Amino acid sequence: MQGVKLVKTQDKSLTVEWLDGRMAQFPYFWLRDHCREPESLNQDTLQREVDTFSIPEDIRAETATLSGDGSKIAVTWAHDGFVSGYEAAFLREMAFGPEGRVKRKLWRGGDIQEDLPEYDFADIQAGDKGLLSMLEGVEKYGFAVINGLPTNVDATRDFITRIAYIRETIFGGLWDFSANMAHSDTAYTTADIGPHTDGTYSFDSPGLQLLHCLAFDGEGGISVFADGFKIAETIREEDPEAFRILTEVAVPGHYLEEGVHLIARHRIINLDDDGELEQICFNNFDRAPFLLDEARMMQFYNALRRFHDLAYDPAMQVRFQLVPGKAVLFDNWRVLHARTAYTGFRHLAGGYVNREDFESRLRVLRKA
């Protein structure tokens, strides 16, 4: 824990300096709104109880004091004399984000092909430590390969529900598919499927996807993955104009079958408020018709081509075969997946997990 070195009241905000020299400013209005006392914050549910809009707009601190070890700050408010206490760790996280997060490692195929993030199902089932280690693999690389799963859908379900409940979609919850055209999607054929992310026709594209091989007796059907974040960063570096267009143009995706007509729009590259990569949505097969003015339309195609060419570049890809008992869990907001054509019989099961449920499981496991 980083202790606080000093606190200083300014006109409209409190300045906090930590022992490592990092500094941050907290507006008084924000501080009163984020008061941690039982009068302001329900201690059981952590729901806000302070009435934000009865806080004086020009609220000021009379004094701010630091507890002896630098772990707590007390602010006395000028207008009513109320004292709000804050943990130094809380303010630090607000200013600089959570500590100890796994750093993403962006990759080209060759970086990891010989050293894939692989995990044993037995270790994952044995306890939370194994589960956390596998999920941190997904956080770091965008995917994890799991070996030794029993080849039945009960194992698929058990595995996904260790992470979270299975998301319901047009394909059901837990799905299992072979080439039978149960839905009007290439997933249900033996054809080659190029690199894509799933659910571009959903406003909330699935966060994680599991593909679990139950049976395979044939040729081909190689699974291919590419790091969409690496592709995006490569474009950002080499062609900033194309990068910008991919962050700006809202591309509609659609899914059609009897009685269903889904459409949603996404930028292909989505950034957070700091300009960091947040989500890739790329599925050229499911792109719905849309038209921009001529210049913009052609700029878009050129930018899309750059993304496409990198996604299809073997140097960017890892490849492996899903054999019975092998599964791959991947971050559908980051990694593109594909599979080559195949002959024979192939039976996969799998499902989706929402993004927030994946992140929730990570937070809870880390805290334990």
CB of 181 to ligand OGA, least distance (A): 13
Q: Round the CA-based radius of gyration of the chain to a whole number and report it.
A: 25
CB of 333 to ligand OGA, least distance (A): 15
CB of 186 to Zn ion, least distance (A): 9
CB closer to Zn ion out of 175 and 243: 175
CB of 117 to ligand OGA, least distance (A): 18
String of contacts with ligand OGA for each residue 199-218, x by CB under 6 A: ------------x-------
What burial class does residue 14 get, using C-beta atoms within 10 Å of its C-beta: 0-12 exposed, 13-18 middle, 19+ buried? buried
198 binding ligand OGA? (CB under 6 A): yes
34 binding ligand OGA? (CB under 6 A): no
Give one word for 81, left, alpha or beta, with left for phi > 0 and alpha for psi -120 to 50. left
Binding-site partner at residue 331 among ligand OGA, Zn ion, none, CB < 5 to 8 Å by type: none
Give the count of beta carbons closer than 10 Å to the beta carbon of residue 173: 13
193 binding ligand OGA? (CB under 6 A): yes
CB of 173 to ligand OGA, least distance (A): 15
CB of 339 to ligand OGA, least distance (A): 4
Task: Pick the binder of ligand OGA from 166, 316, 348, 349 (CB under 6 A).
Answer: 348
CB closer to Zn ion out of 186 and 270: 186
CB closer to Zn ion out of 13 and 332: 332
Give the count of beta carbons closer than 10 Å to the beta carbon of residue 264: 19
What burial class does residue 184 get, using C-beta atoms within 10 Å of its C-beta: 0-12 exposed, 13-18 middle, 19+ buried? exposed
Binding-site partner at residue 304 among ligand OGA, Zn ion, none, CB < 5 to 8 Å by type: none
Tell me the number of residues near ligand OGA by CB under 6 A.
Answer: 8
CB closer to ligand OGA out of 119 and 175: 175
Q: Which residues pair with 224 in a beta bridge?
A: 319, 338
| Window 198 to 217, contacts with Zn ion (CB under 5 A) | 198
Binding-site partner at residue 197 among Zn ion, ligand OGA, none, CB < 5 to 8 Å by type: none
Q: Are strands 222-227 and 251-257 parallel, antiparallel or unpaired?
A: unpaired
String of contacts with ligand OGA for each residue 135-174, x by CB under 6 A: ----------------------------------------
CB of 193 to ligand OGA, least distance (A): 5
CA angle 244, 98, 335 (to 5 degrees): 45
Task: Pick the binder of ligand OGA from 339, 349, 351, 361 (CB under 6 A).
Answer: 339
Rounded distance between C-alpha atoms, residue 122 and residue 243, angstroms: 42
Q: Which residues bind Zn ion (CB under 5 A)?
A: 198
Q: Which residues bind ligand OGA (CB under 6 A)?
A: 187, 193, 198, 211, 223, 337, 339, 348
